[in-house]
Structure 1
C-alpha cells in the first residue's frame, strides 16, 4: 500500500515539474536549434548539434521555472491555479532548479567553443531579464523575441559561424515571437484589447515570401501561413478560451517557421521533420499546458 502511494506521489511530482517547465513546447526549441545549426556556414561535427539541443532545452525549461518563481506574487492574484500559489512547491525550490539548469546549459555550450558559450551566456541574461521585467514593462515581448533569436545565433556559432541567412531568418523568428508574446499577455483577460502590435507578425511572412524559391519550402510556407491565419482568427473571434488557443497555436507555429527555413536550404526531409515537431507540440499541449 505504501509503495503504491509513493509511486502515485512521484507521478504527481513529475507532472508538477513538467507543467512548470511547459515541456510541451520543447519540440519548438529543438527545431530552433536545428534551423540555427543549418543556417550556419560552419562545418562542425554533427555530434555538437545534440549538445546544442540539450543546452537549449535546459535553457527553456530552466527559464520557465524562473518565470513561475518571479511571477509567484502576481500569479497568486491572476493565476492562482499555478503550482507555487497552490502550495504544491516552494518558490525557492523552483528558482534553484531553474538556476541550476541555466548554469548546466552554459557549461555544455562552452564545450563547443568560446563563441557558443558566450552566446549562451547572452541567452541566459536575456532569459533572466525577461522573467524580471516582463510584468513591469511593455517591452517584455521584445526581450522574449531576443531570447528565441539567440537560439539561432547560439546554434549557428556552435556549428561554426553566423551567416546572412542566420540573421534574416532570426529576424523573422524574433518578430513571430514578439507577436505571440504580446498576444499571450492578453491571455489572463481572454480578449485582445489592442491589435496593432500584432502587425509585427507580418514580418516573418514577408521575409519568407520574398526569399523562398524551393518547391518543398513553398509547400511548407503555405502550411505556415494557413496556420497563422487560423491562429489570428481565434484571437479576433472573441469566444471564451480563444486567446489561449491562439497563443499555444502560435507557439507550435514556431516549428513550422523553422521548417520553411530548413526546407529552403534543400533539406526537405529535415523540413518535414520540423513539421512533425509541430504536430508533436500540438499533441503534447493536450497533456501539459503550453502557457
Structure 2
C-alpha cells in the first residue's frame, strides 16, 4: 500500500524539487559574490531551522499535490492506457485519493503560512497554476506546456523564500538586493526547459508535427546552452589565471571541467533520442526523449549551480544516487 502511494505522488521526483531549490538558492547567494560557503549557511542560520523545515515541507507538498491531482484528472484515461496504476487498478480508493489530494494542497498552504504571509501568497500562486494545469489546460496543445513551464518557474521563485522573504520580494519586484536578473536567471532557464519537455511529451498522446518536436528540442537545448553560457562567463573562472594558491587554481580548474562534463552529458543524453524521434516521426519514439530530459533535470540544476559555486553542483550531484535508487524502487506502471 505504501509503495502504491509513493507511485501515485511520484515520490522519486521529489529529488528534482530539492535540486531545483538548491540551484536557485546557490545562484541567489553566489552569482554576484565570492565563494565563501559560510555565507549560505549564515543566511540559513539567520532564518532558522523551523523556517527551513516549513519551506521544504511546503515545496514537497505542492509537488505531491500536483502529481496526485494529475492522476485524479487522468483516471478515466488511465483505465484504458495504464490499467495497472494505483488508481485505475483499484489498489487505492478513489475517494481516499481525493481526500488526500485536498489535504496535501491545504497542507502546502498551511506550511507556507507558517513562514509568513508573503510566502503563503507565493505558494497560492504555485498551487493555482498546478490546479490549472491538472484540471484545465493539460490536454490543450501548447497551452498545457506553457502552464507547466509556469508551474516550475513560479516554484523556483517561491523557493527563494528559503533565504527569506526579502529574496522573494527582490525576485518579484526588484529592489536593493541582488540583481534581479541573477535571481530569475535559473527560474527562466528551468521554465524554458520544462516547456520543451512538456511540449515533446504531448506528442506521445496526440497527433503532432515534426515542427513541434523541433521547437521542443530547441527549448531544451536552448536552456542547456544558457547554462553553458553561464559557465563560460562564471566569475570564478577568472581565478584560473590569478588564484591565491596552486591548490585553489587546481580546484577551480577541476570545477570548470566538472561543469563542462555536465554540459556535454546533458546534450548527449537528450540529443540521440530526440534525433531518433525527429527522424522517425513516430509517437513511440517520444517516450525515450521525455525520459532522458526529465532525468536530465538534476544535471541541468548541477550545471547552473556550478556556474555560481562549484560546491553547489557537487551538492546536487550527491542527490543523484537517491534519484536513481528511487527510480528502481518506485517504478510507475
- Answer yes or no: is 1:209 the counterpart of 2:228: yes
Distance 1:123 1:129 in 2: 10
Distance 1:115 1:232 in 2: 41
- Answer yes or no: is 1:64 the counterpart of 2:52: no
CA contact (8 A) 1:62 1:98 kept: yes
Residue 217 of structure 1 and its aligned partner are, at CA, apart by 5.6
- Answer yes or no: is 1:91 the counterpart of 2:87: no
Match of residue 154 from structure 1: 158
Q: Specify whether residues 144 and 104 from structure 1 end up closer, same or farther in structure 2 by C-alpha distance, changes over 3 A only.
A: same
- Answer yes or no: is 1:232 the counterpart of 2:271: yes
CA contact (8 A) 1:56 1:105 kept: yes
Distance 2:264 2:138 in 1: 28
Equivalent residue for 2:317, pick from 262, 266, 275? 275
Q: Specify whether residues 172 and 285 from structure 1 end up closer, same or farther in structure 2 by C-alpha distance, changes over 3 A only.
A: same
Residue 114 of structure 1 and its aligned partner are, at CA, apart by 1.8
Q: Specify whether residues 24 and 224 from structure 1 end up closer, same or farther in structure 2 by C-alpha distance, changes over 3 A only.
A: farther
CA contact (8 A) 2:262 2:303 kept: no
Q: Specify whether residues 225 and 83 from structure 1 end up closer, same or farther in structure 2 by C-alpha distance, changes over 3 A only.
A: same
Runs of at least 5 residues in structure 2 that lack an aligned partner in the other structure: 30-39, 172-179, 237-251
Match of residue 213 from structure 2: 195
- Answer yes or no: is 1:115 the counterpart of 2:118: yes
Q: Specify whether residues 94 and 137 from structure 1 end up closer, same or farther in structure 2 by C-alpha distance, changes over 3 A only.
A: farther
Q: Residue 195 of structure 1 aligns to a residue in which SS?
A: helix
Distance 2:258 2:16 in 1: 19
Runs of at least 5 residues in structure 1 that lack an aligned partner in the other structure: 1-12
What TM-score does the superposition give when structure 2 sets the normalisation length? 0.74
The aligned length equals 278
Equivalent residue for 1:251, pick from 281, 294, 302? 294
Distance 2:121 2:92 in 1: 32
Residue 192 of structure 1 and its aligned partner are, at CA, apart by 8.1
Distance 1:121 1:255 in 2: 26
Match of residue 141 from structure 1: 145
Deviations 1:94-139 (A, max 9, x none): 1221221121111111222222111111000011011012024431
Equivalent residue for 1:177, pick from 176, 190, 194? 194
Structure 1 runs of 4+ aligned residues shifted over 6 Å read: none
Distance 1:152 1:219 in 2: 24
Q: Specify whether residues 75 and 136 from structure 1 end up closer, same or farther in structure 2 by C-alpha distance, changes over 3 A only.
A: farther
Distance 2:93 2:69 in 1: 12
Match of residue 243 from structure 2: none
Match of residue 8 from structure 1: none
Residue 39 of structure 1 and its aligned partner are, at CA, apart by 3.4
Q: Specify whether residues 151 and 14 from structure 1 end up closer, same or farther in structure 2 by C-alpha distance, changes over 3 A only.
A: same
CA RMSD of superposed structures (Å) = 2.7
Match of residue 18 from structure 2: 30
Residue 243 of structure 1 and its aligned partner are, at CA, apart by 3.5
Match of residue 51 from structure 1: 54
Distance 1:149 1:20 in 2: 23
Q: Specify whether residues 290 and 172 from structure 1 end up closer, same or farther in structure 2 by C-alpha distance, changes over 3 A only.
A: farther
Match of residue 21 from structure 1: 9
CA contact (8 A) 2:224 2:266 kept: no
Deviations 1:238-261 (A, max 9, x none): 599754343233222212222222
Residue 18 of structure 1 and its aligned partner are, at CA, apart by 0.8
Q: Specify whether residues 98 and 77 from structure 1 end up closer, same or farther in structure 2 by C-alpha distance, changes over 3 A only.
A: same
Distance 2:185 2:257 in 1: 17
